[in-house]
Amino acid sequence: MYHSILKTTGLTKRFRSQEAVKSVSLEVPEACVYGILGANGAGKSTLLKMLTGILRPTEGEILFDGHPWTRKDLFDIGALIETPPVYENLTARENLKVRGILLGEGDRRIEEVLSIVGLSHTGKKRAGQFSLGMKQRLGIAIALLNHPRLLILDEPVNGLDPIGIRELRELIRRFPEEGITVIVSSHILGEIEQTADYIGIMADGVLEFQGEMPGGEHLEELFMEVAGRRREEE
């Protein structure tokens, strides 16, 4: 039996009449990469926003490390959701310094996270002049500052070029070795296939499948079957 860092039961989010996330029961083993796959509008971002305290669940429960989730758990959760929260007129180091002061993390940790994401040598360059990939990596550095045990990344490869995608994939793959669990969402099958150990497939707000990543060419088959089943029901 593995230890789950995160577990949800019946997690639901309704916006007025629309149910964006429908009774999702997710189980994420510690120290793995868990990929959440789903077409646009499947409810991935809404789910991740509930896990990071941006949205309040309408119903259901979230357990973090075996206990009911509270806002205090956000000290152990790093997140990059939508655009990275960077000050464009500051350098990478300065961006981290601003956050470091808030979190009580000093220069040593700042240099550490810069090195983890490969931004140690960006010197005086301001974040506004960074490529999209560099901005994403700075966002991840910010999320890493307070030594999170769980890192939540919503569509981190969106808009990146192939080199940026590969760099980010290699970065994400290294976290489980350090004991950090990563939940990453994407609508790109190939990306999740190369990154994740476990997957959850969402369609129309429902977690239709979760389990170990199937080998070979089977992910596409599985995804088509799961997403197709949903379509037939409509």
Q: Which residues bind ligand ATP (CB under 6 A)?
A: 15, 18, 20, 38, 40-46, 187
CB of 172: closest distance to ligand ATP in angstroms?
Answer: 18
Q: Which residue, 119 or 223, is less far from ligand ATP as judged by CB?
A: 223
The answer to whether 85 and 37 have CB atoms below 8 angstroms apart is no
CB of 43: closest distance to ligand ATP in angstroms?
Answer: 4
Q: Which residue, 109 or 187, is less far from ligand ATP as judged by CB?
A: 187
Say how far apart CA 45 and CA 51 lie, in whole Å: 10
CB of 13: closest distance to ligand ATP in angstroms?
Answer: 8
Q: Which residue, 41 or 60, is less far from ligand ATP as judged by CB?
A: 41
CB of 130: closest distance to ligand ATP in angstroms?
Answer: 23
Q: Match 């789950």 to its residue by tokens.
A: 4
Q: Which residue, 18 or 121, is less far from ligand ATP as judged by CB?
A: 18
Q: Which residue, 39 or 171, is less far from ligand ATP as judged by CB?
A: 39
The answer to whether 45 and 70 have CB atoms below 8 angstroms apart is no
Residues with Cβ within 8 Å of 7's Cβ and at least 6 positions away in sequence, in order, are 25, 26, 27, 28, 62, 63
Q: Name the DSSP class of 214.
A: P
| Burial zone of 53 (CB within 10 Å; 0-12 exposed, 13-18 middle, 19+ buried) | middle
CB of 163: closest distance to ligand ATP in angstroms?
Answer: 23
